[in-house]
Each structure stands twice: as C-alpha cells, then as structure tokens.
Homo-oligomer: A and B are copies of this chain.
Amino acid sequence: MMQRHPVNDTRFIDGMMSIRATRSIGLVALLLVVTPVLGDDAASLSSWNDTASKRAIVEFVARVTTEGGAEFVPPEERIAVFDNDGTLWCEQPMYFQLLFALDRVHALADQQPEWQDQQPFAAVLANDREKLAALGHADLGAIMAATHAGMTTDEFDAIVREWFQTARHPIYDRPYTELVYQPMLELLDYLRAHGFQTYIVSGGGVDFIRSFADEVYGIPPEQVIGSSGLTHFELRDGVPVLIKTAEIGSIDDGPGKPANIELHIGRRPLMAFGNSDGDLQMLQWTTAGEGPRFGLIVHHTDAEREFAYDRESHIGKLDAALDEAATRGWTVVDMQADWGTVFSEESN
C-alpha cells in the first residue's frame, strides 16, 4: 500500500546534505562534437552525439508515429514522462529545492528570532557545515515545513519566482534555471513536434516546479506532477484562498510515481525518462505496457562537465535501476559520450 508520511518523512530530500566532492569544474573540456545526424527528422537533437542512445530515441519515435505503420500510436496516447532532478536539470550538490529552503530560512530569520538558538535553524543561519551535514530527516522536515507551508498558494508562487530571479548555484554561479540539460530541452521539443504530451513526474514539489517549467521546459502547469502538501481552502474577508499546510499529500517518488501517473494522467505512458532508483517503478510501469514502449536512464558519467555518480551516491542513487536497464532493454545515456553539450550557453 502506498503509505502516508508525516512531513518529517523526507525521502524526497534524503541525503541532500551529502555533498559529493568528485566534481571538478572542467568547463574547459567542452566538447563541440559536430555529429552526422540521422536525417532531417533528428536535426533538432543537435546536442546529442550520433551514438546508440540518440539512434534508439529517433528509431522509437519513428516506429510509433509513422502513419500506416504496424506500431502507429495515435497522438492522444503519446505520453512521455520525465523525472526532473538529475534528468532534466542538475541535482548536485543537493536538490535545488533544498537550497531554496535553506535560503528561505535566512530570509525569514528576522521574523523568527527564536531560530538563532533553535536547531536545525541555528545551524542553517550559522552556515555550520558540520552540523548541516549531520541533519536528520526530522530536521530537514522541519526546514521544509517552515519554508513551504503557512502561506497561500499564490504567495508561495511569488516567493519561488522571485528566488529564481536572484539566486545563483553555489558551484556554477549561474541562475538555477540555466542548469537544465540542453540535450533534454531538445528532446522535449522533438517529442512535442512528434505529437507527444511531455509530463514531468518528479519527487520535487509540484508548485515549486511549476514556477519555472512552462518558461524553461515548455511544460504547462497541468502537465507537472510532483510531491505535494495538502492545501486548506478558506475565505478571507470573502476572498477564497488555498493555504499550504505542512501535511504531506503525496510523495511522488519510487512506487508513488506510477500511482500518481495513474491518478493524474490515467493512461500508461509510451516513454519514460529518469536517472535514479527513484524512477525505477515509473520505468517498470511504463515499459510493461502493451505494444512499443521506451525507457531511458540518464547516467551521470561526466565529472568534467557535470558530475559522475551512480551506485554509491546519496543523491540520485542509481543502482537497481541500472541493473534492470540491462534486463528490460532500457536505453542508458552515457552523458560523457552521448551528449555534445550538457548545459545551454555553456560558455557563460
């Protein structure tokens, strides 16, 4: 049974504090690979090298979109689902939504003087790296509750949008919305050009993601599925508002992903894209459907241009899903070999 979790169950921020140090900021290693493309149809996937991964995508899309073909799938059934953290954008050194939460603790400190002496907030305010690295689930849950609840949905949306306008990634020193993967942006466009609906199915908060998904990914709010808290409807001076509460509604991770796909979409996807064991069940569910199905895992193999991590990583652990990719025939993207570019405007 899909279980309910109190707010201090922080599987979705599990391990956020465990910063891996394997990365070198090797932007000098930019590979400008001019690839011989697979035909006009695939020309828009220009950041993908001409390797097996790109070919697998293009060949699958051709199979299901060729009218009169044996495996033709009508447009309304062309559903593609994408994990977000680590699949569409970077998830290191910790999930960006937790970095947002930590920034919010600083921003709210004046209104909460008691935080100076109260953990985990005192550690955040003191930038105490040792204590921060040792924070447990309950601590992280308290930080999430203090920064993601107690305001209206409109107020939260405005806070997140302003943060994205001003905040910068601690390592790349770029706006977070620039740390999306250029090959995946091209893939989203490519699939939509072939009649697919592209959904996000993320362990991150649905409203956090919606604040930038339309502009950055071209994915409208109704095609974003994520973790969510319950909201409370009330009239304030006759004006209806929805208040974000600290009670968790859904953890959209692991087995929660197929459950939420069924709840929100009500169709089994044709294609699924992930990067970690949190996407395993989504990939299983998608590719077990009748007829042609496609599963893909983004394997972070590029310590020079991004990060290299998999089986032992605390964030974005990829272990069981990597084994299963082989037995179930999923495509595994080797970021270093398959992507000519990682981030857009990489020379910035």
CB within 8 Å of B: which residues of A?
A: 1-2, 4, 76, 153, 197, 206-207, 210, 220-222, 224, 228, 230-235, 239-240, 242, 245, 247, 249-250, 255, 258-259, 262-267, 281, 284-285, 288
Contacts and interface: CB of A to CB of B under 8 A. Distances in A.
Given A1-B232, A2-B230, A242 B224 contact: no
A271 to B, nearest CB: 16
A233 B255 contact: yes
A224 B259 contact: no
In the assembly, how many copies of this chain are there? 2
B266 A249 contact: no
Given A231-B259, A233-B258, A235-B284, A221 B4 contact: no
Given A1-B245, A240-B288, A266 B222 contact: yes
- Give the secondary structure class of A's interface: mixed
A334 B118 CA distance: 60
B288 A224 contact: no
Contact of A240 (B224, B240, B258, B266): B258
Contacts of A197: 222
22 contacts: A1-B245, A2-B232, A2-B233, A2-B245, A153-B262, A197-B222, A206-B263, A206-B266, A221-B266, A221-B267, A222-B264, A224-B266, A231-B259, A233-B281, A234-B255, A239-B288, A240-B281, A240-B288, A242-B258, A242-B262, A242-B285, A249-B250
